[in-house]
């Protein structure tokens, strides 16, 4: 793969906090957890800030799926379910993503999602990049870069992946599922906003009581999110759960919701540990999320529209 090399000046410019309304696609393993549903709805309820142009179903494999293909299909179906609950069926195209993980760092997995991302990105104006919000395994995004490396000049990737750089390892679900795809994205030089899970997005905890008070009464979508949360655990006594994925939407909605810095892109070892090389290209690393501000914004938006 021959990837265009963006200058440091270009990376710094692309990694500035975006001004005005932005174009967004969301790559999500929506059926895997309960946080994707919150993030998808949060994005759709932020129309003054982002125009959601497409959804991509991402693969996943855990106790909720028989394999990455099954996980992707279940996520595809869940995206349709969300749009139906919102009464917005057919408003945003939904594409199937990869049914497998990368088998090599030069071997893309072709899918509707990867091809749509390439096409949509290449249509972007130089001063209006497409923001790719990735909240699952990064397979679809990596495949699109491998299929057409020039898209790194046209996109900014905002990825919830890995753990904090200070964490003893980075065996986080999104990153861990597809080591090769994670390396493709981290090594490609694409403008990347990396939001870690443990140590950063892990602060986005909420409880059934809070969801009951501020979400349940927000019409069909509020009931859907409340029931989704209620079913996620058998005993909610003293229990809280991280709604990780809303960190990406919070980051894009307002600069005050997160704190970040430009750092050299970390390298990823076979043992799923970070290492730092100051000679590598720059990325934006989010090192803190303002938990209360993000949830307040989400709860308010659920009552709009």
pLDDT for residue 305: 55
Q: Say whether 35 sits in a helix, a strand or coil.
A: helix
Are 152 and 189 a contacting pair, CB within 8 Å?
A: yes
Q: Is residue 196 part of a domain?
A: yes
Averaged over successive runs of 10 residues, the pLDDT of the chain (305 residues) comes to 84 96 98 96 98 98 96 98 96 98 96 98 94 98 98 98 97 97 97 98 98 96 96 96 98 97 97 94 98 98 80
Task: Name the phi and psi angles at 268, rounded to 5.
Answer: -120, 120
- The residue range of the domain holding 151 is 8-14+21-302
Q: Is residue 3 part of a domain?
A: no
What secondary structure does DSSP assign to 95-160, as a single string?
EE--SS--SSTT-----HHHHHHHHHHHTS-TTSPEEEEEES-SHHHHHHHHH-GGGGGTEEEEEE
Report the CATH number that the domain containing residue 282 is assigned in CATH: 3.90.245.10
* Nearest of 35, 84, 24 to residue 298 by alpha carbon: 35
Task: Evaluate if pTM is beyond 0.85.
Answer: yes
Q: Is residue 54 in some structural domain?
A: yes
Rounded to an integer, what distance in angstroms lies between the CA atom of residue 22 and that of residue 174? 25
Any domain includes 2: no
Q: Which residues pair with 241 in a beta bridge?
A: 206
Task: Confirm whether 88 is domain-assigned.
Answer: yes
Q: Does residue 159 lie within any of the structural domains?
A: yes
Where are the extended beta strands (E) located within 155-257? 155-160, 192-195, 205-206, 241-242
Contact 302, 222 (CB under 8 A): yes
22: tokens are 């932005």
Q: Please give the Cα distance from 305 to 46 (Å, whole number).
A: 10
Residue 293 in any domain: the answer is yes
Residue of 137, 155, 146 lying closest to 15 (CA atoms): 155
Tokens of 209: 């009581």
Residue 1 lies in a domain: no
Q: Per the structure, how many domains does the chain have? A: 1
């Amino acid at each position: 793969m021959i990837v265009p090399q963006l200058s440091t000046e270009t990376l710094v410019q692309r990694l500035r906090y975006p001004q005005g309304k932005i174009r967004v696609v969301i790559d999500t393993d929506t059926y895997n957890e309960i946080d994707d549903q919150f993030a998808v709805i949060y994005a759709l309820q932020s129309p003054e800030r982002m125009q959601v142009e497409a959804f991509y179903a991402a693969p996943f494999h855990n106790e909720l799926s028989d394999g990455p293909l099954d996980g992707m299909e279940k996520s595809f179906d869940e995206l349709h379910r969300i749009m139906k609950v919102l009464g917005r069926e057919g408003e945003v195209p939904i594409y199937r993503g990869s049914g497998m993980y990368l088998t090599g760092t030069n071997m893309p997995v072709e899918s509707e999602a990867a091809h749509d991302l390439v096409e949509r990105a290449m249509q972007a104006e130089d001063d209006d990049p497409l923001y790719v919000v990735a909240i699952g395994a990064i397979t679809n995004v990596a495949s699109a870069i491998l299929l057409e490396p020039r898209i790194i000049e046209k996109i900014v990737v905002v990825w919830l992946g890995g753990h904090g750089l200070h964490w003893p390892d980075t065996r986080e679900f999104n990153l861990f599922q597809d080591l090769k795809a994670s390396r493709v994205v981290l090594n490609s030089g694409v403008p990347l906003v990396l939001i870690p899970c443990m140590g950063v997005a892990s602060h986005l905890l909420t409880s059934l009581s809070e969801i009951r008070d501020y979400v349940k009464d927000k019409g069909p979508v509020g009931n859907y999110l409340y029931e989704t949360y209620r079913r996620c655990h058998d005993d909610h006594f003293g229990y809280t759960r991280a709604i990780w994925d809303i960190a990406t939407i919070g980051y894009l909605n307002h600069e005050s919701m997160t704190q970040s810095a430009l750092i050299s892109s970390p390298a990823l070892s076979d043992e799923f540990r970070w290492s730092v090389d100051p000679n590598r290209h720059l990325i934006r690393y989010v090192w803190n999320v303002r938990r209360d501000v993000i949830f307040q914004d989400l709860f308010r938006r659920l009552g709009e529209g």
